[in-house]
């Protein structure tokens, strides 16, 4: 005789909903968006189907659409017309991200959380996330001074949250100090605390027109995919320096890391469902091999189940529509 029948609680859709352990909602979604200087119409990112480099006008229209679908936040990346060795357009008050933040804050005020990615790789002519020394390595401490200038520029433009992604040692403390010195104590920091040197970022680099000089890579500052204890150390360091929220990036290939970070902190935990994870779903769906919407929702649910509080994802708009059906 069978003593245990778990299938009893799978019999109907209503029962399955009642006993579901993990809930995914629109409130869990943050949309990554790209704005490009010097274009008159939105330009598609071919390796990210459905994603565009926006003009200021089209960005505002897209954000209003996200707001109307109930999505609470966005993270903004900029593509400038001019690049230089330091990435100086990243902190230019009239730089494309600062102008866009002004537009969005004027139109939406506090209706959505405006997160500004803080890095210089989109703005440098060499594609690295900081000042490059003569030996080709990134100068950590000199780069922190740039990050401080960027954080202040983003805060002055209206960002609610600044999100340092460069993986420089001490970046959170440097940014917190700079923000507080200019009376931006209420601007929060979302730290890319566990950001891996992943092979899944290719489509994103297409979206921001970044190519690392001389065929280089970022393994000297992003984390080794072989390591998890290192990620936990980085998370604890960022928290001790003043991070308000922490992030794991990528997400799907690092569910174990998300789970371990969740066990280590009660701070809000973000995960970035990155461009390569999104692009694989889109490519397979385009070939008729999978149901793209179903697989995408399963991806997001698995990230939430692993312990993330919210998810940065290019699926945000479609996921919101699916969740509201």
- Please name the residues in contact with 231: beta carbons below 8 A apart, sequence gap of 6 or more: 193, 194, 196, 223, 248, 257, 260, 261
Least confident of 56-60, 221-225, 314-318: 221-225
The pLDDT of residue 138 is: 87
**Assigned domain for 240 exists:** yes
The pLDDT of residue 129 is: 81
The pLDDT of residue 218 is: 77
Q: Is 195 a catalytic residue?
A: yes
Strand-pairing partners, residue 90, are: none
- Please name the residues in contact with 288: beta carbons below 8 A apart, sequence gap of 6 or more: none
**Assigned domain for 235 exists:** yes
How many structural domains comprise the chain?
1
The pLDDT of residue 210 is: 75
Instruction: Find tokens 């006008």 and name the residue.
Output: 57
Q: Mind listing the pLDDT tens digit for each residue in 215-265? A: 667 777 889 999 999 999 999 999 999 999 999 999 999 999 999 999 999
**Assigned domain for 8 exists:** no
The pLDDT of residue 216 is: 66
**Assigned domain for 7 exists:** no
**Assigned domain for 94 exists:** yes
Catalytic residue among 83, 249, 260, 304: 249
Q: Work out the mean pLDDT of the chain and round it to a whole number.
A: 95
Annotate 200-217 with b (16+ C-beta within 10 A) or e (fewer).
bbebbbbbbebeeeeeee
Catalytic residue among 11, 65, 182, 195: 195
Q: Is 325 a catalytic residue?
A: no
- CA 223 remoteness from chain centre: 16
Domain range for 141 is 23-323
Look up the pTM and report it: 0.95
* CATH number for the domain harbouring residue 58: 3.20.20.70
Strand-pairing partners, residue 271, are: 248, 311
Q: Please state, in angstroms and rounded to a whole number, the distance separating the CA atoms of residues 56 and 209.
A: 18
Least confident of 13-27, 67-81, 119-133, 247-261: 119-133
Q: Mind listing the pLDDT tens digit for each residue in 124-163? A: 988 788 888 888 888 999 999 999 999 999 999 999 999 9
**Assigned domain for 313 exists:** yes
């Amino acid at each position: 005789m069978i003593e245990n029948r778990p299938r009893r609680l799978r019999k109907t859709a209503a029962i399955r909903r009642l006993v579901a352990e993990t809930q995914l909602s629109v409130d869990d979604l943050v949309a990554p968006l790209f704005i490009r200087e010097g274009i008159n119409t939105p330009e598609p990112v071919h390796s990210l189907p459905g994603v565009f480099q926006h003009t200021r006008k089209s960005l505002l229209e897209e954000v209003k659409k996200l707001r109307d679908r109930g999505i609470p936040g966005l993270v903004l990346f900029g593509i400038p017309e001019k690049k230089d060795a330091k990435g100086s357009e990243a902190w230019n008050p009239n730089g494309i991200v600062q102008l866009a933040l002004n537009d969005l804050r004027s139109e939406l005020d506090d209706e959505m959380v405006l997160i500004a990615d803080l890095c210089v790789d989109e703005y440098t002519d060499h594609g690295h996330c900081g000042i490059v020394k003569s030996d080709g390595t990134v100068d950590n401490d000199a780069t922190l001074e740039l990050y401080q200038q960027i954080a202040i520029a983003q805060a002055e433009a209206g960002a609610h949250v600044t999100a340092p992604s460069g993986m420089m040692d001490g970046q959170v403390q440097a940014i917190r100090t700079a923000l507080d010195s200019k009376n931006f104590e209420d601007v929060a920091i979302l730290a890319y605390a566990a950001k891996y040197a992943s092979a899944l970022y290719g489509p994103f680099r297409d979206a921001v027109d970044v190519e690392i000089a001389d065929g280089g890579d970022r393994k000297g500052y992003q984390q080794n995919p072989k390591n998890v204890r290192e990620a936990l150390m980085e998370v604890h360091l960022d928290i001790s320096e003043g991070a308000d929220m922490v992030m794991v990036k990528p997400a799907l290939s690092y569910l174990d890391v998300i789970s371990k970070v969740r066990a280590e902190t009660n701070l809000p935990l973000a995960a970035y469902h990155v461009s390569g994870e999104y692009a694989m779903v889109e490519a397979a769906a385009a070939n008729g091999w999978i149901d793209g919407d179903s697989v995408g929702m399963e991806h997001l649910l698995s990230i939430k189940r692993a312990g993330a509080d919210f998810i940065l994802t290019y699926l945000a708009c479609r996921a919101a529509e699916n969740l509201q059906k």
